[in-house]
């Protein structure tokens, strides 16, 4: 289940590590000759312009829960109004050097695959092949009643027809702040009209695992398989506050598989990690690549 563990809070930003090149070289030594799986979080995508929930410089955010979405049409209307603007920002985002390096490492046989907690599809856009989108993606919409799946672009056209000029009206109120999980920060959404499933008139939901919702079993199985066949797990850009991602670190640790962590600031796995590298994902992975 995607749950924030309130018993653990990420630490504030730390000063840059003066030994960053040496620690990146140590990470290269760990990767070399091993079958590594990489677990990524929002920190790898912030250089691409996608914000996170818990980074050292992130404002406090309260994500919508699954229970709110399914239980209250007002919450659903509010979410879809936000998503109608925010998803386009995510669609326009492009992979950064860290995504490109991981895709290249997979082609070179340095890593077996990537498990990502992100819904931004940037690993796919960068060329990663063996990829588990643990929390889904912004690009697909599903019906909670009949299971119909459709493209987010198709729904966008329907929402545009029902809400002519909505984006332009919102833009006149000032700058739009993009939020994580393919939405935007909006206050006034009462006039927004939603779309129902075209097949059964059921409730439509993005194919994103909300907080309080279970990760689909087949994705957990695929991620477990990656971890089990690897002899190193590298965490990149995640504080591991969410249990659905942290479980794979625990799975590795309990079987004696070493864990390395690349992140800005302290993470939930620091005490269990064989190596920690405190720094920007792009910089650390670039230095690591130079040492491989």
Annotated ligand binding at 143? The verdict is yes
Distance of CA 148 to the CA centre of its chain: 24
- Partners of 264 in the β-ladder: none
Annotated ligand binding at 281? The verdict is no
* Stated length of the chain: 292
Token pair recorded at residue 97? 């050097």
Determine the straight-line distance between the first and last CA of the chain, rounded to whole angstroms: 36
Q: Which residues are catalytic?
A: 135
Contacts of 72 (CB under 8 A, 6+ apart): none
Of 178, 166, 192, 167, the residue nearest 74 (C-alpha):
192
DSSP assignment string, 202-242: --EEEEE--BTSPPPHHHHHHHHHHHHT-SEEEEES----B
- Tell me the CATH number of domain 63-92+139-208, given options 2.60.40, 2.60.120, 3.30.1600, 3.30.1490: 3.30.1600
Tell me the CATH architecture of domain 1-50+95-135+211-292: 3-Layer(aba) Sandwich (3.40)
Tell how strand 204-208 and strand 183-185 pair up: unpaired
Q: Residue written as tokens 């924030």?
A: 4
Per-residue pLDDT in tens (0 to 9) along the chain, 292 residues: 566 554 545 555 556 677 999 999 999 999 999 999 999 999 999 999 998 765 545 455 567 899 999 999 999 998 898 888 888 888 999 999 999 999 999 999 999 999 999 999 999 999 999 999 999 999 999 999 999 999 999 999 999 999 998 877 776 654 456 665 666 666 667 789 999 999 999 999 999 999 999 999 999 999 999 999 999 999 999 999 988 899 999 999 999 999 999 999 999 999 999 999 999 999 999 999 999 9
CA distance linking residue 233 with residue 242, whole number of Å: 17
pTM reported for the whole predicted model: 0.89
DSSP class of residue 53 equals S
Token pair recorded at residue 290? 């130079």
Q: Is 104 exposed, middle or buried (0-12, 13-18, 19+ CB in 10 A)?
A: middle
Annotated ligand binding at 146? The verdict is yes
- Partners of 89 in the β-ladder: none
H helical segments located in 110-151: 122-126
What pLDDT is stored for residue 3 in this prediction? 60
Annotated ligand binding at 200? The verdict is yes
**In 10 A of CB 6, how many CB atoms?**
7
Token pair recorded at residue 226? 């990656």
H helical segments located in 54-188: 66-71, 73-92, 97-107, 122-126, 152-162, 166-171
Same fold, 1-50+95-135+211-292 and 63-92+139-208: no
Contacts of 10 (CB under 8 A, 6+ apart): 54, 55, 56, 239, 241, 265, 266, 267, 268
What pLDDT is stored for residue 175 in this prediction? 46
Largest CA distance in the chain: 59
Q: What are the boundaries of each domain within the chain?
A: 1-50+95-135+211-292, 63-92+139-208
Q: Answer left, alpha or beta for residue 148, where phi above 0 means left and psi between -120 and 50 means alpha.
A: beta
What pLDDT is stored for residue 91 in this prediction? 92
């Amino acid at each position: 289940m995607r749950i924030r563990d309130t018993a653990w809070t990420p630490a504030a930003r730390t000063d840059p590590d003066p030994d960053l090149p040496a620690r990146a070289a140590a990470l290269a030594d760990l990767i070399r000759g091993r079958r590594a799986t990489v677990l990524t979080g929002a920190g790898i995508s912030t250089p691409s312009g996608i914000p996170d929930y818990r980074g050292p410089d992130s404002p406090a955010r309260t994500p919508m829960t699954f229970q709110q979405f399914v239980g209250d049409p007002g919450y659903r209307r509010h979410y879809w109004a936000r998503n109608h603007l925010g998803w386009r920002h995510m669609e326009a985002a492009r992979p950064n050097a860290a995504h490109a390096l991981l895709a290249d490492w997979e082609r070179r046989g340095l890593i077996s695959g990537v498990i990502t907690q992100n819904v931004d599809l940037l690993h796919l856009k960068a060329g990663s092949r063996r990829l588990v989108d643990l929390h889904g993606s912004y690009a697909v919409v599903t019906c909670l009643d009949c299971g119909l799946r459709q493209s987010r672009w198709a729904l966008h056209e329907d929402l545009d027809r029902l809400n002519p000029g909505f984006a332009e009206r919102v833009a006149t109120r000032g700058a739009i702040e993009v939020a994580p999980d393919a939405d935007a920060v909006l206050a006034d959404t009462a006039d927004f009209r939603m779309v129902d499933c075209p097949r059964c008139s059921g409730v439509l939901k993005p194919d994103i695992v909300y907080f309080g919702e279970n990760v689909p079993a087949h994705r957990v199985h695929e991620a477990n398989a990656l971890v089990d066949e690897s002899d190193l797990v590298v965490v990149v850009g995640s504080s591991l506050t969410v249990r659905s991602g942290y479980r794979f670190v625990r799975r590795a640790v309990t079987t004696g598989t070493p864990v390395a962590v690349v992140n800005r600031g302290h993470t939930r796995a620091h005490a269990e990690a064989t190596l920690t590298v405190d720094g920007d994902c792009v910089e650390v992975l670039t230095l690591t690549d130079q040492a491989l």
